[in-house]
Amino acid sequence: MKSYPIAAPDIGALEAQYVLEAVESGWISSIGKFVTRFEDEFAAFSGAAHGVSMTNGTDALRIAMRAMGIGAGDEVIVPALSFIAVHASVVDCGAVPVMVDIDERHWCLDPSLVAKAIGPRTKAIVAVHSYGHPADMDALREAIGDREIFLIEDAAESHGAKYKGRTVGSLGDAAGFSFYGNKLLTTGEGGIMLTNDAELAERTRFLRDHAMDKDRRYFHPEVGYNCRLTNIQAAIGCAQIERADELIGRKNDLFGLYERHSADLPFVKLNPAEEWAEPVNWLTCAVLEPEYAHLRDDLCAALKEKGVDTRPFFIPAFEMPPYADYPVFHNAETLDKTVSSEISQRGFNLPTLTDMDESDVAYIAEAVASSFEAVSGNASQSQSAG
């Protein structure tokens, strides 16, 4: 039987060569030529002026927020539906995450609800570019108006995606990226904070490096962190950046194949694409039509039997105990439930691997079709059996 994991890093000879170079140079900790090269090259790739590499994407977000002075008493607007690192990093700063529903058209923050959620304590908005699709940055800027509110991009799922022709990572006051093993580009574990603001970059770097005084060794005027990337990880990252167009391009081509085969899958919709967006295919997403929502978990279990790994969509943060009491902004006066809950219950991810070809997609699409038939048949039988 064929077997498809949901995602896998694409690591080749160039990565191995750079890692060997790093190891043989003796610079295996967080100083070394690959670290600075990685920071400069990834910033350039994303169109930003400065890059501060990090242990992971979560640290990039929380240390950027610390560097912005976000803390107790502040509110940070975040999408209700995203990976929990977003909500956790706000709480970690001592601030309140204000959860705003997503827009069903692109699964990112709904700007009209953000406008309602902004209050006197709002210090920042974290715009997640969700599942490869950019957030509507201009509409979010408009919601902010002339207030002093930071607009932070979380581009962990969207390396190289474009918003109105501009690459994500350079569109806000700062951006966080992840290079975890399942992301579009990887360093194993790793992250980076990008910004065009030299002072913010320097302050982020300072907090990342134990908040040590630049001019007085072992003097620490603030409480800092140690969240540095190693030269070995950065070596992998440099190779991935050289291969970025190839790696991202292959997954985008793969999405084209999925789209073609989705003609046989009328019960799902794949990833959205607004006309102002050039999304990237981090993970291929399938969202069941509303009437089939209850079949999602059975469908994924049946796919597992056929060797096709899937993931359910993220769960809205307000459904989880640590976040249940924070404010939520949604349109539930006009809807039965939040868009976040709705999409969350109906969505799942399909294998998205750089080495998949037409025959792989054909196998998976056929597996989805036959599994759907099986589980919907079972469901109607058990209903009629009553």
Ligand X SMILES: *Cc1c(COP(=O)(O)O)cnc(C)c1O
CB of 51 to ligand X, least distance (A): 15
* CA nearest to 157, candidates 137, 128, 193, 135: 128
- Which stretch, 79-87, 101-109, 294-302, 330-338, contacts ligand X (CB under 6 A)? 79-87
* CA nearest to 82, candidates 144, 26, 157, 8: 157
CB of 58 to ligand X, least distance (A): 3
If the CB atoms of residues 168 and 257 are measured against ligand X, the closer one turns out to be 168
Rounded CA-CA distance 218/345 in Å is 51
CB of 90 to ligand X, least distance (A): 12
If the CB atoms of residues 103 and 154 are measured against ligand X, the closer one turns out to be 154
If the CB atoms of residues 156 and 201 are measured against ligand X, the closer one turns out to be 156
Residue at 135: amino acid letter: A
Among 19, 149, 156, 238, binds ligand X (CB under 6 A): 156
Residue at 150: amino acid letter: F
Rounded CA-CA distance 301/298 in Å is 5
CB of 339 to ligand X, least distance (A): 17
Residues 168-207 that bind ligand X (CB under 6 A): 178, 180, 191
Task: List b or e across 19-51, with b for residues whose CB sees 16 or more CB atoms inside 10 angstroms.
Answer: bebbeeeebeebebebbebbbebbbebbebebb
Residues 96-155 that bind ligand X (CB under 6 A): 128, 154
Q: Is 233 in the site for ligand X (CB under 6 A)?
A: no
Q: Is 280 in the site for ligand X (CB under 6 A)?
A: no
CB of 15 to ligand X, least distance (A): 18
Question: Under the phi-then-psi rule, with left for phi > 0, alpha for psi from -120 to 50, and beta for the rest, what region is 132?
Answer: left
Residue at 313: amino acid letter: F
Residues 45-64 that bind ligand X (CB under 6 A): 56-58
CB of 129 to ligand X, least distance (A): 8
If the CB atoms of residues 156 and 302 are measured against ligand X, the closer one turns out to be 156
Q: What angle do CA 188, 34, 66 make, to 5 degrees?
A: 70
Residue that is written with structure tokens 């827009």 in the block? 103
Among 64, 86, 168, 277, binds ligand X (CB under 6 A): 86
Among 157, 172, 201, 346, binds ligand X (CB under 6 A): 157
CB of 93 to ligand X, least distance (A): 15
Contact predicate 4/353, CB 8 Å:
yes
Number of helices (H), then strands (E), in the chain:
12, 15
- Which stretch, 83-91, 225-233, 284-292, 294-302, contacts ligand X (CB under 6 A)? 83-91
Q: Token pair for residue 24? A: 């043989």
CB of 21 to ligand X, least distance (A): 24
If the CB atoms of residues 193 and 302 are measured against ligand X, the closer one turns out to be 193
- Which stretch, 26-34, 37-45, 82-90, 305-313, contacts ligand X (CB under 6 A)? 82-90
Q: Token pair for residue 264? A: 């046989």
Rounded CA-CA distance 312/344 in Å is 8
Instruction: Tell me which residue has its CB nearest to ligand X.
Output: 57
* DSSP, res 159: T
* CA nearest to 96, candidates 65, 75, 70, 71: 75
- Which stretch, 17-25, 37-45, 80-88, 378-386, contacts ligand X (CB under 6 A)? 80-88
CB of 184 to ligand X, least distance (A): 11
If the CB atoms of residues 7 and 368 are measured against ligand X, the closer one turns out to be 7
Q: Token pair for residue 381? A: 């039988």
* CA nearest to 224, candidates 67, 342, 75: 67
Q: State the residues that interact with ligand X by CB under 6 A.
A: 56-58, 82-83, 85-86, 128, 154, 156-157, 178, 180, 191
